[in-house]
Amino acid sequence: MKVSLVSPYSSIANIGLRSISAVLKEKGHEVQMCFLPVPSLESSWNLSPNFEVHYPDALMEELRELTKDSRVIGLSLMSNYREVGIRITEALKRPGNTIAWGGAYPTLYPEDALSNTDVVCIGDGEEAMAELVSQIEAGTEPDNIPNLWFKGKAYPRLKAIEDISALPLADFGPQGHFVYNEQTGALVPLHSFDDYRNHFERRRRPSASGGDEMVYVFRLETSRGCPHNCTYCQNNVLKKVQSKTVRIKGLDRMKRELDMVRELFPFVKVISIEDDTFTARKDVRELVKLVKDSGFQFRCLVSPLYASEELVASLVENGLIIFTVGLQTRAPKTEKLYNRSALNRGIDDLFELFAKKYPDMPVLVDLIIDNPWETTEDRLYTLNFLLDKLPPKGLIGMNSLVIYPNTTLWEKASADGISSDFNSLKTWHWHRQPKIRYTTLVYFALKIGLPRGLVRFLESRPFLFLFERDLFTNFVIPKTTRLIKRSYMILSGRKTVPK
């Protein structure tokens, strides 16, 4: 039977949807994959805090035509793609088809998602989609499928895939795969694996012959889940609805994945390991050696709890190019709110290790800002910690707190009467935030590499007394930054002028 799978994300990686496609193909179904990236949304010229994707009507028409003989259409959605999901579903819905939604948004908030589509998937989608397609093909009204909640039916039984090593390798087509080109407005078929050069992430690295070279990055999943349970994270819900344990893909399976990358995409030189806490794998040392022996460098996310000196040495030896660590906060009260007190404990030693032994290694530290429970003192606590301890090549990733439905933090927000816009972007962009605190600007000063002495001066009491006030937070700072951006856009002749 013919099935179409649609991914609106601005990266066409979509490991989950490709895995679903591979399972469906293995069962003999014809699968078509459509990727609809809108890269300009990620650009610094976009002023919307939400993902207001306005796909042209012509694209929706083309997609409708392309999917007209698919009896099942699947969409992958993160929370910030809720509106996009509704738009695509309206465009593709026909009397005879079934439109299924899966991904982080329906998993976290199925009760909301189900009001806009036929069926939602909670958690793993491979077996669920295979069963859905087979029931529809058999001509029965689909029902009673683990993880799938049908409109008007009872909440389903939930089941995680135990052995994720046994899943087929992700589907990269290229036959039957289409990618939307925002520049030309066309939905372009992929003809060869080489076409992926236009879509994989590229990054600069020092070349062996001196100077810099551009290399391609491939996103890889080696496990599902996280050993931690931060109160704001999707894992906080996944532990309830999917699996409490971290499911890992074994080394043999990883070797097959790495071989596939090398064979299909010889231009890829860097593997981006997307696992939530890669270093929690017991066999992490063997795996990074395998990555190195396969001819790749890599980047990965590390939790401060799983990063001993010996382990860091092994990562660096085997080709780590950037060390990304989630800190989120160092303020004790906020660490407790996020359930990260124990997890963050190792961060001082880790920073010290990098400062002493690997001063040239970039260390990207993820932080959460815009937390409505934090006081100025809490914000300064984390800032001062970074000013004191951040290694020389430390970089800062600033993310606004998004309170996702059904997480523990969401429950607290509801109890405390705090409203939250769950479908907004996390990445902090200075010109698209509705509120900007002065302390956030000071974080930003550190992020862009202003001398730490100057940053300390900017966070001194007189400045805080003058600027850390509602008038500046809600009005003066955000309005001024947007005005600067708008003026610059008009003067530089940019087409999209923000509202």
Q: What residues line the site for ligand B12 (CB under 6 A)?
A: 9-11, 13-17, 19-20, 42, 74-76, 78-80, 100, 102-105, 107-108, 121, 124-126, 128-129, 219, 221, 233-234, 274, 276, 404, 425-427
CA 130/CA 20 separation, integer angstroms = 8
Chosen residue from 10, 89, 277, 408 binding ligand SF4 by CB under 6 A: 277
Site for ligand SF4 in 321-350 (CB under 6 A): 326
Site for ligand SF4 in 46-105 (CB under 6 A): none
Do residues 28 and 38 make contact, with C-beta atoms less than 8 angstroms apart? no
Look at the alpha carbons of 495, 497, 498, 499 in this order and tell me if their dihedral is positive or negative.
negative
277 binds, among ligand SF4, ligand B12, none (CB under 5 to 8 A by kind): ligand SF4
Q: Which residues pair with 217 in a beta bridge?
A: 201, 270
Do residues 290 and 284 make contact, with C-beta atoms less than 8 angstroms apart? no
Q: Which is nearer to ligand SF4, 67 or 324 (CB)?
A: 324
Please give the C-alpha separations between residue 471 and each of 203, 311, 435, 466, in angstroms, as whole numbers.
40, 48, 10, 10
Q: Which is nearer to ligand SF4, 258 or 368 (CB)?
A: 368
Please state the three-class secondary structure of 61-125 as a single string.
Answer: HHHHHHCCCCCEEEEECCHHHHHHHHHHHHHHCCCCCEEEEECHHHHHCHHHHHHHCCEEECCCC
326 binds, among ligand B12, ligand SF4, none (CB under 5 to 8 A by kind): ligand SF4
Chosen residue from 127, 171, 276, 468 binding ligand SF4 by CB under 6 A: 276
80 binds, among ligand B12, ligand SF4, none (CB under 5 to 8 A by kind): ligand B12
Q: Which is nearer to ligand SF4, 180 or 323 (CB)?
A: 323
Minimum separation from the CB atom of position 7 to ligand B12 (A): 6
Minimum separation from the CB atom of position 469 to ligand SF4 (A): 31
Nearby residues of 272 by Cβ (< 8 Å), 6 or more positions away = 201, 217, 218, 219, 220, 298, 299, 300
Binding mask 294-313 for ligand SF4 (x = CB under 6 A): ---------x----------
Taking each helix axis from N to C end, the angle separating 15-26 and 126-137, rounded to the nearest 10 degrees, works out to: 40
229 binds, among ligand SF4, ligand B12, none (CB under 5 to 8 A by kind): ligand SF4
Minimum separation from the CB atom of position 492 to ligand B12 (A): 24
Look at the alpha carbons of 364, 274, 171, 53 in this order and tell me if their dihedral is positive or negative.
negative
Q: How many C-alpha atoms does 49 have within 13 Å on its Cβ side?
A: 20
Minimum separation from the CB atom of position 87 to ligand B12 (A): 16
274 binds, among ligand B12, ligand SF4, none (CB under 5 to 8 A by kind): ligand B12
Q: Which stretches of 221-340 are assigned E, i.e. beta strand?
A: 223-224, 247-248, 268-273, 297-302, 320-328
Q: State whether residue 1 is helix, strand or coil.
A: coil
Site for ligand SF4 in 211-230 (CB under 6 A): 226, 228-230
* Residues engaged in binding ligand SF4 (CB under 6 A): 226, 228-230, 233, 235, 276-277, 303, 326
